[in-house]
A = this chain, B = another copy of it.
Amino acid sequence: MPRYFPANSLESPRFTGVRTFMRLPFVQTTADVDFAVLGAPFDTGATFRVGARFGPEAIRSMSAMLRPYHLALDVKIFDHLSGVDYGDAPVVPGFIEDSYRKIDEFLQPLHTAGVTPIVLGGDHSIVLAELRAAARKHGPLGLVQFDAHGDVWDEYFGHKYTHGTPIRRAMEEGLLDGRRVVQVGMRGPLYEPHDIQQARDFGFTVLVADDVRALGLAGVVQAIREVVGTRPTFLSFDIDFIDPAYAPGTGTPEVGGFTSAEAQQLLRGLTGIHFVAYDVAEVLPSYDNAGQSTALLAANVAWEMIALLAWKRKNIKLQR
Contacts and interface: CB of A to CB of B under 8 A. Distances in A.
Contacts of A53: 13, 15, 50
- What is the copy number of this chain in the assembly? 6
Contact of A248 (B13, B250, B256, B293): B293
Give the residue among A46, A50, A61, A256 with the most B Cβ atoms within 10 A. A50
A57 interface: yes
Nearest to A191: B67
Interface residues of A, number: 101
Contacts of A76: 192-193
Interface stretch (A108-116, A258-266, A271-279): A258-266
Given A245-B260, A261-B257, A90 B16 contact: yes
Given A71-B196, A189-B67, A189-B69, A255 B264 contact: yes
Nearest to A154: B10
Nearest to A194: B69
- Main SS at interface, chain A: loop
A1 interface: no
Nearest to A190: B69
A195 B69 CA distance: 10
Interface stretch (A176-184, A226-234, A282-290): A282-290
Interface of A: 9-20, 26, 39, 41, 43-51, 53-54, 57, 60-61, 64-72, 74, 76, 85, 87-96, 98, 153, 155-159, 161-162, 187-193, 195-196, 208-210, 213, 243-246, 248-250, 252-257, 259-261, 264, 286-291, 293, 296-297, 300, 303
